Chains A and B, each alone.
Chain A
Amino acid sequence: MRLVRALLLLTGVGFGLWGVWLMRDFTSEQLVSMGTWLAGGVILHDAVIAPVTVVLGVVAARLLPGRTRSVAAIAFLVWATLTVAFLNVLSGQGGKPDNDTVLHRPYGLSWIVLTLVIAAIAAAVAYRRRPTAVQRRSR
């Protein structure tokens, strides 16, 4: 186990140094741009995406009836991660104006449909899991 960990550690450091070596002839402008995107991603996640998710969780826990919280959380997981994964095509950026074989689908509409489908499935699951009359009386 110790040997495996030491080998992993050394290989990892070696790979990382090789990656830095591949950057040796990058101009300072390129390095600054790369650094901005590297740091920007971490800051965007740790200071915006993660705290907003936590706050949404806290708000949902206060607003939603207890039994629907699990379903709501999983629906949010699927919806939010897919939205991030599709942000590139949803952004409206990229492609070339003279090339209509790329980015030529109605992505916004697809995203609205995706959102509605996830919401409908979540609502259906929450409804099926509602307490029965017997359970309600026994409370």
Chain B
Amino acid sequence: MRLPRVEDIEKRIPRPEDFSARSRGPATTARVGTALGIAFGICFLTGLWSHFQYDSPSWLPIGPNPAWLYRVTQGTHVATGIASVPLLLVKLWSVYPRFFIRPPKARRDQLVDVLERASIGVLVAAAIFQLTSGLLNVVQWYPWEFSFRRTHEAVAWVAIGALLVHIAVKLPVIREGLGASVADEPPVDAEGPSRRAVLRGLTVASGLALVLTVGQTVPVLRRISVFGVRDGDGPQDLPVNRTARAAGATRAASDPAFVLQLKAGARTVSLTRDELAKLPQRTHRLPIACVEGWSRNAVWTGVAVQDLIALVGAPSRSTVTVRSMQTRGAFRTSELPGDFVDDPRTLLALELNGEPLSLDHGYPCRIIAPNRPGVLQTKWVRELEVRT
């Protein structure tokens, strides 16, 4: 008996020709890849938009109109990401035999081969990373050491960059594949599924992934979306993202001696909750829209922030810093840009759907403004300070 040599092992590794499924091939891959490319493009643009909404750059001031904008862009972002999971899996399945192509013999071709494989490696790693990290963020599970928000953004640029390089390299194959009929198949493995069957099955899978989760964004589908993270239920008919206990706000928020501080330069006004309730009240129907994709409309009643800062003599277009009583977690303070304060729908809310705010919804008072990511709708507000 002799030890196996490299050639013996090499013979045992499958070759692309060993994979018999007739449903694979450029006609399938190009179609699935096009759908996946469009889905990733939607995720990329809506994702960038979300970062702009968190931190509005000076060249793109994002205002309160339309009130539903973030609800739509972020709902689309998460829903498209979930629908992409079947697309990515089938895309990878359709090209898996190519993983076993042997490297070319000539030196010059080897370099091109290594570069191409490296770019595909980056693309696959980044694509899987984006879908995985996004899906885990949606259920608030963070089994890693990196910052989700910043890493999901950085890897998105890498993923889209690698995707563009991939399209550049494969453009002739893609055009040929899209031109080829799905019915035009080589006569191997006649009993396996056809290309058309695979594409139809994938459409069903992707559509079901969407319908069975998107009810957290689209209220009509609430009952159907049995795999949705939320069904829109919660205290006072609204889900909660962070409870008072998790935010460490319970004690301060339930203190009957609570007073809200209004500040502008040297001027300070303190108001109890009863005094707030005696000020002119406004009622608006506005959505809470979270970065995790869920959103829900609710009826809010409270004092317009512009009316409050008028009490300390500030003009209605001022930037206001909002400070919360919460002792744990990020976003304890938020900044309300002048465009939002100037909108009479931007409220310091005292009531939700006709009842006083529950503790988990921000009692004694919280911010609610049109077209803002949920985490900036600061709860358990203790201070509003006008920036001068």
Contacts and interface: CB of A to CB of B under 8 A. Distances in A.
A96 B164 contact: no
Interface string B193-227: 11001101110111011001100000000000011
Nearest to A4: B171
B147 interface: yes
Contact of B141 (A17, A22, A86, A93): A93
Contact of B85 (A5, A32, A38, A85): A85
Contacts of A15: 157-158, 160-161, 164
Contact of B132 (A41, A105, A110): A41
B198 A50 contact: no
B30 interface: no
A78 B157 contact: no
B231 to A, nearest CB: 7
B158 A42 contact: no
A138 interface: no
B297 to A, nearest CB: 16
Contacts of B151: 23, 26, 30, 34
Contact of B227 (A4, A89, A101): A89
A66 B192 CA distance: 8
B150 interface: yes
Nearest to B126: A38
B86 A74 contact: no
Given A30-B146, A38-B155, A70-B194, A8 B168 contact: yes
B129 interface: yes
B154 interface: yes
Contacts of A11: 161, 164
Given A82-B205, A105-B228, A70 B86 contact: no
Contacts of B209: 81-82, 85-86
Contacts of A89: 139, 227-229
B113 interface: no
Contacts of B155: 19, 34, 38
Interface in A61-97: 61, 66-67, 69-70, 73-74, 77-78, 80-82, 84-89, 91, 93-96
B51 to A, nearest CB: 11
Contacts of A110: 226-227
Interface size class of A (residues with CB under 8 A): 35 or more
Contacts of B204: 78
B243 to A, nearest CB: 5
B59 interface: no
A3 to B, nearest CB: 11
A33 B144 contact: yes
B240 interface: yes
A88 B138 contact: yes
Interface stretch (B91-99, B177-185, B270-278, B371-379): B91-99
22 contacts: A4-B171, A9-B169, A16-B157, A26-B151, A30-B151, A31-B146, A32-B145, A34-B146, A45-B92, A67-B191, A69-B191, A80-B89, A81-B206, A84-B89, A85-B209, A85-B213, A87-B135, A91-B139, A95-B139, A95-B141, A96-B243, A105-B226
Interface of A: 1, 4-6, 8-9, 11-20, 22-23, 26, 29-34, 37-39, 41-42, 44-46, 49-50, 53-54, 57, 61, 66-67, 69-70, 73-74, 77-78, 80-82, 84-89, 91, 93-96, 98-99, 101-105, 107, 110-111, 114
